[in-house]
Amino acid sequence: VESHPELARDEYSKGITNIDNDAYSKYMQGATARKERNITLRNNTEEINNLKEDVSEIKDMLRQLISKQNGN
């Protein structure tokens, strides 16, 4: 702790605390950015899966139309 000015010992719990507010702010910004990226990825994955289902339904409808045209 003595050689690290960003660390301080808590008098009550004797635990070590990082008192570097800039580092904490940067960490929190990074955590928020990671959370937002994960949400975006999850939303994009869901949208892709919905589009796959839509394409599958369209393909089935086209098969039915072709089958009716061919008299089957």
Return the residue matching tokens 């839509």: 54
pLDDT at 21: 94
Share of the chain above pLDDT 90, in %: 88
Least confident of 12-16, 42-46, 48-52: 12-16
> Where along the chain do its domains lie?
7-69
Residue 44 · residue 31 · CB < 8 Å: no
Q: Tell me 8's DSSP state.
A: E
pLDDT at 1: 75
Nearest-angstrom CA–CA distance, 38 and 68: 45
